[in-house]
């Protein structure tokens, strides 16, 4: 390792923080569209994404103070662009509708989410442990301790958390025209 | 100690759940978890009617190690070697997905030379991965010799990589803001020699295997997967491209310097195992093209950004970063709360989605064809089980 690397370590945290505050990083987060959706609207939103030829990348879940944030990632083959759908599930009763009847590939992703967080997907035909041992008795392994749990405000400090209206034409036209800014068609 | 030695026919948890069947003339069979054609520890529950598969259900999790929990416990630099342990065949692509996600959330710049080094090494690793797949797939189909040829080529590439990365299989070479060590002239020369050698070898592979009548009987019109099926299950990589859809993250969501190179995205619309086979054979040649272009235009400069943080501490937020691995789209969803370790790191394994369509595709096929289909999906079980 060079000397320059060593020096950078010694930069105090305060100075670093000041730097980032001066110029808020205009980072591309990897999401071309990102929505909060209510559990009741989820199926309808996913149906619209299905009609717009999206495929399901994965289903991620984050344990937060407000409950479980289940994040669905969608992308498209012909016109790439990532859409994120965020659904908040209640902690006491973590139930959200299953989307396996629209995307059969969601089956395993939902089982994994059930495994790691205990989120129940209503209507799932086969909600069994997939990666964990079926005899495992303990709490779901990715649950955070009460003291470590962060709120939505800590992670998304300046984000509008209001759910999108999936019935609106705006939502449909946004997802239909969604595209990755860096993508260029080679032809 | 259980001394009851009577045969337990009820099976384990998954077998019991799988058992109920409408027919009384079928047999429930376990393929795996120690079956040689499942390359590790994949188990598939089959309901068979004679030699034909009525239902199939993969059972996963035999080598689950909870990499996602480890990401929350370890600091970012400590986690660097972990992604390589998921998909050990294309370790660098997984490492790239991890460092790429952290670089994206922190806004770390990567020097141009480091980007080129990453492209060269990642493509070398991709060739290695496809070569092993090629040898092992043919082994599944009953051809023993090709794996000897493929390991011959793999050895040379692994020797080249070992000199600069320090390891032969589970590389941990990428760092936040660059790579751990620079490449030298010897690496460049050896890589050029190997590229030239591989081009000759591909001709031999084609004559020896690809044009072989016996192979074609085993792969043509076997395991046909439509683009719609791929979309519904989220299958990517050669599985998707073997169904005629030229989708590649290197082109669709260009990361690093991939947009500077001229390469094709091979796609075959035969949709069968042969299509997937041909995609991988062509992809190796495309990788050689990329490597040669990158070596020709390799810029001078730093191999790691001089101000790259050693103890990464990203700001709060979340990002998604995807790269093209040998098996498809590798994605990382990183959620940070501003701490030293990830608040949540979700790994998207391409094999997980690719395997999930097996239950549908294998219905009504012969068991021997199911082995061919499984091989053509190019499964790496540690990646699926994570």
The enclosing domain of B190 has a CATH number of: 1.10.645.10
Question: Six-digit token pair at B239?
Answer: 């599985």
* Residue-by-residue DSSP string for A117-175: H--EEET-TT---SSS-TT--SS-TTPPPTTT---HHHHSTT---PPP-TTSHHHHHHH
pLDDT digits (tens, 9 = 90+) for B245-284: 889 888 888 888 888 888 989 999 888 899 999 999 999 9
Question: Six-digit token pair at B191?
Answer: 């890589």
In a domain, B384, yes or no: no
Distance CA B74, CA B68 (A): 10
pLDDT at position A24, please? 52
In a domain, B380, yes or no: no
Question: Six-digit token pair at B160?
Answer: 């080249």
Q: Is A140 on the interface with B (CB under 8 A)?
A: no
What residues 24-43 of chain A have any CB closer than 8 A to a CB of chain B? 25, 27-31
Least confident of A36-40, A159-163, B53-57, B173-177: A159-163
pLDDT at position B31, please? 85
In a domain, B220, yes or no: yes
When pLDDT is cut at 50, 70 and 90, the band that residue B120 belongs to is: very high
In sequence order, which residues have a C-beta less than 8 Å from that of residue B229 and are 6 or more positions away?
A: B235, B243, B357, B360, B361
* A57–B348 CB contact, under 8 Å: yes
Mutate to test the interface with A, among B114, B265, B318 (most CBs of A within 10 A): B318
pLDDT digits (tens, 9 = 90+) for B4-19: 555 556 778 887 788 7
Domain boundaries, chain A: 29-176
* B107–A107 CB contact, under 8 Å: no
Which is higher by pLDDT, A19 or B383?
B383
Q: Is A173 on the interface with B (CB under 8 A)?
A: no
The tally of domains found in chain B comes to: 1
Instruction: Give the pLDDT mean for B28-50.
Output: 81
Q: Which chain B residues touch A12 with a CB distance below 8 Å?
A: none
pLDDT at position A185, please? 59
Q: How close A105 comes to chain B (CA, Å)?
A: 4
Distance CA A37, CA A33 (A): 12
Q: Is B381 on the interface with A (CB under 8 A)?
A: no
* A126–B348 CB contact, under 8 Å: no
pLDDT at position A17, please? 46
On whether the CB atoms of residues B112 and B301 are closer than 8 A, the answer is yes
* A53–B231 CB contact, under 8 Å: yes
Distance CA B342, CA B323 (A): 19
**Which residues constitute the domain of residue B82?**
67-352
Q: Residue with structure tokens 């009525």?
A: B54
Number of CB atoms found within 10 A of residue A7's CB? 11
When pLDDT is cut at 50, 70 and 90, the band that residue B158 belongs to is: very high
Axis-axis angle for helices B112-140, B273-296 (nearest 10): 150
Q: Is A22 on the interface with B (CB under 8 A)?
A: no
Query: Mean of the per-residue pLDDT values for chain B?
Result: 88
How far out from the chain centre does Cα B245 lie?
Answer: 18
Number of CB atoms found within 10 A of residue B24's CB? 5
Q: Is B35 on the interface with A (CB under 8 A)?
A: no
Beta sheet of B344-348, edge-to-edge order: B317-325, B328-336, B344-348
pLDDT at position B155, please? 93
Q: Which chain A residues touch B63 with a CB distance below 8 Å?
A: none
* pLDDT > 90? residue B94: yes
What residues 75-134 of chain B have any CB closer than 8 A to a CB of chain A? 104-107
When pLDDT is cut at 50, 70 and 90, the band that residue B162 belongs to is: very high
pLDDT at position B128, please? 92
Distance CA B73, CA B344 (A): 10
* B304–A154 CB contact, under 8 Å: no
CA angle B179, B185, B190 (to 5 degrees): 95
On whether the CB atoms of residues B113 and B139 are closer than 8 A, the answer is no
pLDDT at position A5, please? 44
Q: How close B235 comes to chain A (CA, Å)?
A: 9
pLDDT at position A7, please? 42
Q: Is B343 on the interface with A (CB under 8 A)?
A: yes
Among residues B369, B308, B379, B353, the alpha carbon closest in space to that of B80 is found at: B308
pLDDT at position B8, please? 57
Q: Which fold has domain A29-176?
A: Beta Polymerase; domain 2 (3.30.460)
Q: Which chain B residues touch A3 with a CB distance below 8 Å?
A: none
pLDDT at position B293, please? 92
Q: Is A129 on the interface with B (CB under 8 A)?
A: yes
Q: Is B245 on the interface with A (CB under 8 A)?
A: yes
pLDDT digits (tens, 9 = 90+) for A83-117: 999 999 888 888 999 998 999 999 999 999 998 99
In a domain, B117, yes or no: yes
Q: Residue with structure tokens 């967080």?
A: A117
Q: Which chain A residues touch B15 with a CB distance below 8 Å?
A: none
Distance CA B143, CA B141 (A): 6
What residues 65-84 of chain A have any CB closer than 8 A to a CB of chain B? 71, 73, 75, 77, 80, 82, 84
Q: How close A30 comes to chain B (CA, Å)?
A: 5
Residue by residue, pLDDT tens for chain A (187 residues) are 444 444 444 444 444 444 444 555 456 788 888 888 988 888 988 998 898 889 999 999 999 988 899 999 999 888 888 899 999 988 888 899 999 899 999 999 999 999 899 899 999 888 888 998 888 888 888 888 888 888 888 888 777 778 888 888 888 888 888 877 777 655 4
């Amino acid at each position: 390792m060079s000397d320059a690397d060593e020096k950078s370590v010694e930069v105090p945290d305060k100075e670093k923080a000041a730097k980032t505050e001066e110029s808020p990083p205009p980072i591309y987060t990897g999401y071309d569209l990102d929505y909060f959706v209510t559990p009741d609207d989820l199926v309808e939103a996913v149906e619209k994404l299905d009609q717009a030829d999206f495929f399901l990348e994965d289903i991620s879940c984050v344990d937060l103070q407000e409950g479980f944030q289940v994040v669905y990632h969608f992308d498209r083959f012909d016109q790439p662009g990532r859409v994120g759908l965020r659904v908040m599930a209640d902690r006491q009763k973590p139930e959200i509708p299953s989307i396996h009847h629209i995307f059969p590939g969601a089956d395993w992703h939902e089982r994994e989410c059930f495994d790691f967080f205990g989120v129940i997907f209503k209507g799932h035909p086969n909600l069994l442990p997939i990666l964990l041992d079926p005899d495992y008795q303990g709490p779901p392994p990715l649950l955070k301790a009460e003291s470590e749990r962060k709120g939505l405000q800590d992670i998304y400090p300046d984000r509008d958390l209001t759910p999108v209206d999936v019935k609106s034409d705006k939502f449909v036209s946004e997802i239909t025209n969604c595209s990755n800014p860096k993508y260029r068609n080679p032809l | 100690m259980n001394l009851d030695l009577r045969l337990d026919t009820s099976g384990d948890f998954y077998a019991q759940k799988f058992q109920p069947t409408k027919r009384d003339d079928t047999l429930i069979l376990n393929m795996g978890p120690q079956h040689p054609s499942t390359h590790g520890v994949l188990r598939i529950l089959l309901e068979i009617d004679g030699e034909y598969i009525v239902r199939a259900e993969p059972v996963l999790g035999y080598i689950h190690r909870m990499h996602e929990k480890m990401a929350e416990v370890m600091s970012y630099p400590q986690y660097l070697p972990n992604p390589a342990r998921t998909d050990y065949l294309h370790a660098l692509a997984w490492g790239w997905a991890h460092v790429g996600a952290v670089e994206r959330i922190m806004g770390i710049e990567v020097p141009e030379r480091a980007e080129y080094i990453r492209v060269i090494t990642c493509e070398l690793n991709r060739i290695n991965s496809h070569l092993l797949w090629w040898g092992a797939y043919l082994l599944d189909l009953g051809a023993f010799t090709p794996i000897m040829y493929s390991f011959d080529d793999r050895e040379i590439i692994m020797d080249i990589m070992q000199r600069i990365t320090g390891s032969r299989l589970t590389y941990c070479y990428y760092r936040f803001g660059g790579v751990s060590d620079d490449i030298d002239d010897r690496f460049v020369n050896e890589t050029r020699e190997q590229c030239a050698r591989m081009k000759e070898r591909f001709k031999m592979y084609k004559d020896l295997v690809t044009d072989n009548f016996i192979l074609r009987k085993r792969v043509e019109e076997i395991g046909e997967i439509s683009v719609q099926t791929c979309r519904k299950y989220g299958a990517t990589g050669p599985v998707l491209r073997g169904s005629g859809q030229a989708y590649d993250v290197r082109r669709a969501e260009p990361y690093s310097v991939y947009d500077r190179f001229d390469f094709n995205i091979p796609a075959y619309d035969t949709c069968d195992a042969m299509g997937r086979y041909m995609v991988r054979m062509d992809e190796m040649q495309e990788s050689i093209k990329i490597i040669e272009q990158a070596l020709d235009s390799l810029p001078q400069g730093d191999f790691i950004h001089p101000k790259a943080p050693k103890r990464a501490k990203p700001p709060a937020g979340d990002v998604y970063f995807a790269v093209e691995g040998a098996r498809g789209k590798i994605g990382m969803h990183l959620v940070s709360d501003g701490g030293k370790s990830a608040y949540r790191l979700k790994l998207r394994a391409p094999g997980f989605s690719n395997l999930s369509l097996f239950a549908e595709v294998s219905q009504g096929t012969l068991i021997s064809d199911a082995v061919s289909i499984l091989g053509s999906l190019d499964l790496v079980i540690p990646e699926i089980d994570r």
